[in-house]
Structure 1
Amino acid sequence: MGFWDWLGGKSESKGGGARKKKGDKTPQSLHFPPLPHLQITLEYKKIKHIILKIKSFNTLSISAPFGVGISEIESVLYKREQWIRTKLLAFPQKVGERYCNGGEIFHLGESYKVSFSPSHRASIKLNEGEIRVEARSEGEIEAVVQKWQRGEAKRVFEEVLGEWERELEVQISHLSIKKMASRWGSCNPKKGYINLNLSLIKMPKRLIEYVALHEMIHFFHYYHDKNFYAMMSQKMPNWKERELELREWKRRIG
């Protein structure tokens, strides 16, 4: 897949990417790799310049003159990436999970619609875009889902921490998974303890990797000094991008 994922469109790479003919006003859905969760629509209009407009905390609309190629739009997005990130973070709207039939939950960066079925035995099954929840009543959906999320968090967090243990040649003695209001993680380097926020299981794995690495580097550098950030950059060169995305996800999950 190239820079853009065109939905319902046909790519024409000649001349700098797909172009729209005058008169075709069908909006296109696009994908921008540096901000994978961002929903982008492109519409061609009788205007002179490319216009970007933030519609919500995760939605961007692009208006472009007829005849402008995708490569030109790509260039504008990269040039204004920091502006886009700043505007997204400033947008007041939040979206939280809804634990009800037809509601929505997030798991490892994906959104799932809740499909509830009454049953005396609680269970969870993930399908594409859907989480099937069986419980005695709809009021028990939240408890069943959160118990499942905690089990998933233990599995994924231990896997990620294990990878960093091998990379950093250090050993963790204890992992705690907690609900934390203001922190994504914490640690006790002397005892080898790591605490991670349960809500991280809702986010893409790359953000769990970032938080885990951040806490484990404290085993080597207690303070957020130049040595700490030098090691962060050595082990994860794009850690600043992941940090920004983490903030955006906090706004998304509410």
Structure 2
Amino acid sequence: MICDFIFRGISVDRIILSGRSIPVVIVYKNIRHTYLRIKPDKTLYITTSKRTKVSSIETLIKSNEIKILKTIDKTSMPLTPLMNDQILFFGVEYPAIYDPSLKKSWLFDGQTFYYKNESTKITSLKSFYAKSVIEQSTGLLEKWRPLLIKDINLNHIIIKSRWMKSQFGSCQSAKKLINMNSVLARFDIRYLETILIHELVHLRVQNHGKDFYGLLYKYLPNYDSIRKELGHLFKRIEV
């Protein structure tokens, strides 16, 4: 049972699901709908209208009980570290070795990833990933150019990469700037390719409407399944 005690628009309590006590946080806002998320600490985080009754929220939770518990159990699984004695580079494992004699912060020789400083090794890895994503994305752009140029103006495109926690890519169509998440360097290159095509299509269609998906599916008919796979992979790593 969720309490109806509210302090500054926030209600905090617990609910019993299949004999398990689950923490619940309800945030009341000036919105029309109710949204339920499960935080990494296994808390049910709900945002809803100020007019929503607690009983309605309880009904929503109970009706999704099985799904909620499954998601919480998945959340309990340990995350894969970005780096230990190995790294993942486009789906392949490579040794990661500390080498203080390096002249720069990192080096990849095609077989091994070397890093200069233990305290900044994650920063070095992210730098390596970002550089690699830009290089691979540039190559993929040239691969797809003969096909995409029929529908999309691909002149003067700028590709950048940075570490992002909430999206795989972005497109500023006016500047013709594509920003790719450098975490994509961890996974098989087909995921990078899929996200790149998604962002390139945004150069033609800025929203996610019917026209956007019509053009995207023209080039990537299996986009949805690949994007879903990537989402599952992304959830299992430390970001």
Tell me, yes or no, whether TM beats 0.5.
yes
Match of 1:119 in 2: 101
State the one-letter code of the partner of 1:107.
F
State the one-letter code of the partner of 2:206.
Y
Match of 1:217 in 2: 201
8 Å contact 2:94–2:113 — kept in the other structure? no
**C-alpha deviations, 1:191-240, integer Å up to 9, x for none?**
21111111111111111111111111112222211221121211011111
State the one-letter code of the partner of 1:180.
M
**C-alpha deviations, 1:115-167, integer Å up to 9, x for none?**
3344243433343xxx34152x4334334333322221221111122323332
After superposing on structure 2, the runs of 4+ consecutive aligned residues of structure 1 that deviate more than 6 Å are: 87-90
8 Å contact 1:125–1:132 — kept in the other structure? yes
What count of residue pairs does the alignment treat as equivalent? 161
Q: Distance in 2 between matches of 1:152 and 1:166?
A: 23
Q: 1:157 to 1:88 in 2, by over 3 A?
A: farther
8 Å contact 1:175–1:194 — kept in the other structure? yes
Decide which of 115, 140, 144 is 2:124's aligned counterpart.
Answer: 144
Name the SS for the 1:196 alignment partner.
strand
Decide which of 81, 89, 109 is 2:91's aligned counterpart.
Answer: 109
Question: Equivalent residues in 2 for 1:49-68 (5 A)?
Answer: none
8 Å contact 2:126–2:182 — kept in the other structure? no
8 Å contact 1:119–1:134 — kept in the other structure? no
Q: So what's the TM-score if we normalise by structure 1?
A: 0.56
For structure 2, the 5+ residue unaligned runs are 1-69
Q: So what's the TM-score if we normalise by structure 2?
A: 0.59
C-alpha deviation, 1:90, in angstroms: 7.1
The answer to whether the aligner puts 1:166 opposite 2:146 as a matched pair is yes
Q: 1:145 to 1:177 in 2, by over 3 A?
A: same
Q: 1:179 to 1:140 in 2, by over 3 A?
A: closer
Match of 2:213 in 1: 229
Decide which of 97, 108, 121 is 2:82's aligned counterpart.
Answer: 97
Q: Distance in 2 between matches of 1:173 and 1:112?
A: 32
Aligned-pair identity (%)? 22
Q: Distance in 2 between matches of 1:221 and 1:195?
A: 16
Q: 1:89 to 1:227 in 2, by over 3 A?
A: farther
